[in-house]
Amino acid sequence: MARVVAILLAVVVAATASASLLAPAAAELTRVEHPPKTEGSLNILAVGDWGRRGQFNQTLVAEQMGVVGEKLDIDFVISTGDNIYDDGIANTSDPLFKECFTNIYTSQSLQKPWYIVLGNHDYTGNALAQQDPAIREVDSRYLAVAKSFIVNSEIADFFLVDTSPFYLKYWNSSKYDWRNVAPRDTYIETLLKDLDDALTQSEAPWKIVVGHHPISSGCEHGNTTELQQLLRPILEAFYFPRLRHHLF
Ligand SMILES: *[C@@H]1O[C@H](CO)[C@@H](O)[C@H](O)[C@H]1NC(C)=O
Ligand SMILES: *[C@@H]1O[C@H](CO)[C@@H](O)[C@H](O)[C@H]1NC(C)=O
Ligand SMILES: *[C@@H]1O[C@H](CO)[C@@H](O)[C@H](O)[C@H]1NC(C)=O
Ligand SMILES: *[C@@H]1O[C@H](CO)[C@@H](O)[C@H](O)[C@H]1NC(C)=O
């Protein structure tokens, strides 16, 4: 979604660490293990729509994230996509990457893993470059390890879902990098099945689904018909509340 201001959302999840470390590995989705603090708490920041070379107040938001990040002693950051405007990065050595990420999020408290999904603006560039291990040699925090993946934090499982391919109108444009995605129907079918399996198998008390696009929204872009039809039924089975703005 095209938005001018980066959003910053602090989420504090504290619950008894009751989840089993031995939850069975689900279907196909890549998993990252990120245990909570020893006393069982987990503090994270989430941000989306940010990569503006510091402009559009990105730097100011980054500074405040640094302050809040230190106060909360955050464990990691989640990015909900539109990481690099306007058209993602061209390759893993594109200077835009450092200008939008490395050189902006310099606070000590933000030197943590960033778990990242792509937004539509990332898809109109080289979408694969953001996932390439070579990008992590440029900045090891940048963990867009797969298009969709799971972060297991014992008290919470985060399901990062690649929502751009759902939008039919994007498929009408030649600007999108659908390598490793097309054909759409197969991709979505596999993704939904893997997500459903992973949600079913998750034993974490908190199951948090993260994606770039809203399912239902009262703001300018409105509801996403494709997500309402395809994704929402899976989430409703887990009694998710109605969600605003991002899926988060
Ligand atoms: C940055 O934020 C200030 C308010 O703090 C606002 O006046 C200004 O328009 C913003 N700049 C941009 C480019 O959005
Ligand atoms: C990577 O992208 C940048 C920005 O478009 C370009 O200047 C550079 O030549 C590209 N490098 C390679 C190795 O393709
Ligand atoms: C995609 O393009 C076709 C053919 O031009 C058109 O009929 C259809 O409405 C478009 N779909 C969307 C979602 O924009
Ligand atoms: C958007 O979705 C919500 C929830 O399903 C629904 O109540 C609302 O009427 C929808 N809005 C539009 C404009 O279709």
Tell the residue nearest (CA) to atom 7 of ligand 1: 57
Total domains present in the chain: 1
Q: How far apart are CA 15 and CA 17, in angstroms?
A: 6
Note down the domain range covering 191: 7-13+29-236
Q: Which ligand is nearest to the CA of 168?
A: 3
In a domain, 246, yes or no: no
In a domain, 247, yes or no: no
**59 in contact with ligand 1, CB cutoff 6 A:** no
Q: How far apart are CA 51 and CA 86, in angstroms?
A: 8
Helices (H) then strands (E): counts for the chain: 8, 9
pLDDT in tens, the chain (248 residues): 544 333 333 333 333 333 333 444 445 899 999 999 999 999 999 999 999 999 999 999 999 999 999 999 999 999 999 999 999 999 999 999 999 999 999 999 999 999 999 999 999 999 999 999 999 999 999 999 999 999 999 999 999 999 999 999 999 999 999 999 999 999 999 999 999 999 999 999 999 999 999 999 988 889 999 999 999 999 987 754 434 444 44
Q: Which ligand is nearest to the CA of 64?
A: 1
In a domain, 153, yes or no: yes
In a domain, 60, yes or no: yes
In a domain, 248, yes or no: no
Query: Given CA atoms 243, 247, 106, 73 in this order, what sign does their dihedral have?
Result: positive
Question: What b/e sequence results for 197-211 when a residue is b if at least 16 CB atoms lie within 10 Å of its CB, and e otherwise?
Answer: ebbeebebebbbbbb
In a domain, 88, yes or no: yes
Going from the Cα of 16 to the center of ligand 3, the distance in angstroms, rounded, reads 49
Q: Where residue 134 sits, what CATH number does that domain have? A: 3.60.21.10
Burial class (CB in 10 A: 0-12, 13-18, 19+), 54: middle
Going from the Cα of 5 to the center of ligand 1, the distance in angstroms, rounded, reads 9
In a domain, 116, yes or no: yes
Tell the residue nearest (CA) to atom 14 of ligand 3: 169
**216 in contact with ligand 4, CB cutoff 6 A:** yes
Give this prediction's pTM: 0.87
3-state class (DSSP) for residue 41: strand
In a domain, 127, yes or no: yes
